[in-house]
Amino acid sequence: MASVVYPTTNLAATEQLNLVRGDGIYVFDDKGNRYIEGMAGLWCTALGYSNSELTQAIATQLDTLPFAHSFGGKTHPALMELAHRLSAMVPVEDAYIFFGNSGSDANDSHFKMLRYYFNAIGKPEKRKIITRERGYHGVTVAAGSLTSLPVNLAHFDAPVEDLNILRTDAPHYYTGRKGNETEAQFVDRILQNLEEMILAEDPDTIAAMIVEPITGASGVIVPPEGYYEKLQALLRKHDILVWADEVICGFGRTGNDFGCTTMGIKPDLMSFAKQLSSAYFPISAAVIPGWMYEAMIEPSNQVGVFGHGFTYSGHPAACAAALKTLEIFERDKVFEHAADVGDYFQALLRETFEDHPLVGEVRGKGLIAALELVSNKTTGASFAKGAAGAAAQKACEENGVILRAVGGNALAFCPPLIITRAEVDDMIARVKTAVDHAYDTLK
Ligand code: PLP
């Protein structure tokens, strides 16, 4: 056993799978077994595992300028070009971008920039952030406190109390509905809860609300029709900014460029990582609107610097990886491909699993989806301790597909965006065999 504190792993049962190579949508373990990477790693390897254009772009950058920082106004061509390109792509007015290395640090950077901004405009009391139950926003101190998943909070004394975080309902009708309430009634009820909390806290003390357009780690929750429209109207009414965490949804995953496009969200702030570089090099982007940037100039001038930055902010190899990724996305029409195969995938998934006795709900959009595994299809009753999720994940692996049980008993899918219809057929056939097997063992 290697002396590694493995992340998000049961430390009593480490080293389950040793991967040695990848090719297209496949990865191979040290025993020569091949798996479809049905999760694109951790929702991230958009272009699959053997894209030599990407590795070449990174190698060329490393040969030319392996490191440059961007403190004190220093810059380099790949950084400027990437900022230019990304800023032109995102649905944020006159976008400015703070680069980092992970989704967590993008969210921590936003957390700090929001305080910086509201201090700058003379509203220091506007500092609370609303997050949702079942949200996942990373694991650093601020992002980890915005996360609501029990496993990420337990034993860490999280959320950190002084961070002024407010929590509201998860927009999941299937698990959150009361009695025979309709979807529309469910939406109205949870948004009424939210408004009551906003009024009780005082809207002048609330800076922003963070949302994953479609959640990932909590089980791929797709909010009901009408939810975001009403949510945004409510937030605008109370002058609360909309902060979209696009770390999973960004760049083609949901059938459009961004999750915000798919779900009809008009964000003020956006967080990106993962697919921005197809995960070939760590990079994140915290996007803010021009009016926020303008307000941050004066305080930085007073102090002499905007005192936030990482050694690897705008790392040249990371910028080169992201630039090449965005170029391939555009040139090869990867988002259009993902939308087309995504429609096919969603239809086949529903056809295959909607009537399955172990499956309570099939949900998703584009190339992200989940099966909610239930012990009673009529009542939607769940299995304790994620037993069905764990059994199905294991059976999938035995059938040559890597999927991930998340949020208890949801079996999540998030394959590379380059997956073909034939590969989708193969993946779903294998998962069907695995879910049948899990059902037999759980009966
Ligand atoms: N935000 C979302 C929506 C995520 O899914 C994740 C990671 O899965 C993060 C933030 C954190 O990203 P990272 O693991 O790169 O810190």
Q: Is the CB of 255 inside a 6 Å radius of any atom of ligand 1?
A: no
Return the residue whose CA atom lies nearest to atom 12 of ligand 1. 103
Do 259 and 246 touch, CB atoms closer than 8 A? yes
Mean pLDDT of the chain, nearest integer: 97
Give the DSSP H or E segment for 316. Answer: helix 316-331
CA of 97 relative to ligand 1 center, distance in Å: 18
**Would you say 283 and 101 are in contact if contact means Cβ atoms under 8 Å apart?**
yes
Interval 403-412: pLDDT, tens: 999 998 999 9
Per-residue pLDDT at 1: 86
Tokens found for residue 11: 């430390």
CB 138 less than 6 A from any atom of ligand 1: yes
Q: Which are the contacts of 133, defined by CB distance < 8 A and separation ≥ 6?
A: 148, 167, 168, 169, 170
DSSP 195-246: HHHHHHH-GGGEEEEEE-SS-STTT---PPTTHHHHHHHHHHHTT-EEEEE-
Q: What angle do CA 226, 229, 235 make, to 5 degrees?
A: 135
273 C-beta closer than 6 A to ligand 1: yes
If phi over 0 gives left and psi between -120 and 50 gives alpha, with beta otherwise, what is residue 179? left
Residue 103 alpha carbon to ligand 1 centre in Å: 4
Q: Which residues pair with 361 in a beta bridge?
A: 372
- Angle 360-365-367 from CA coordinates, rounded to 5°: 105
Structure tokens at 83: 């900022």
Q: What is the mean pLDDT of residues 173-179?
A: 96
The backbone torsions φ and ψ at residue 98, rounded to the nearest 5 degrees and listed phi first, read -100, 120
Using the mean position of ligand 1's atoms as its centre, give its distance from the Cα of residue 409 in Å. 20
Residue 11: what pLDDT?
A: 93
DSSP 268: S
Cα-to-centroid distance, 253 and ligand 1 (Å): 14
Q: How far is the CA of 313 from the centre of ligand 1 (A)?
A: 17
Tell which residue, 342, 431, 369, has the closest CA to residue 395: 431
CA 84 to chain centre: 23
Q: Ligand 1 in contact with 211 (CB < 6 A)? A: no
Higher pLDDT, residue 161 or 252: 252
Q: Which of 46, 216, 70, 48 is CA-nearest to residue 132?
A: 216
Helices (H), 380-443: 387-398, 421-442
161 — pLDDT class (breaks 50, 70, 90): confident
Q: Alpha-carbon distance 205 to 403, whole Å?
A: 41
Tokens of 212: 């994953």
| Percent of the chain topping pLDDT 90 | 97
Nearest CA residue ID for atom 1, ligand 1: 137
Ligand 1 centroid–CA 221 distance in Å is: 15
Q: How many CB atoms lie within 10 A of CB 441?
A: 13
| Arithmetic mean of pLDDT, 289-310 | 97
- CB of 250 within 6 A of ligand 1: the answer is no
Helix (H, G, I), strand (E, B) or coil at 271: strand
Distance (angstroms) between ligand 1 centre and the Cα of 246 equals: 9
Is pLDDT at 413 greater than 90 in this prediction? yes
Res 440 pLDDT > 90: yes
Q: Cβ atoms within 10 A of the Cβ of 34, count?
A: 11
Mean pLDDT over 158-168 rounds to 93
Q: Whose CA is nearest to atom 5 of ligand 1?
A: 248
pLDDT value, residue 443: 85
Q: Express each pLDDT in 4-54 by its tens digit.
A: 999 999 999 889 999 999 999 999 999 999 999 999 999 999 999 999 999
Name the pTM for this structure: 0.98
Residue 216 Cβ inside 6 Å of ligand 1? The answer reads yes
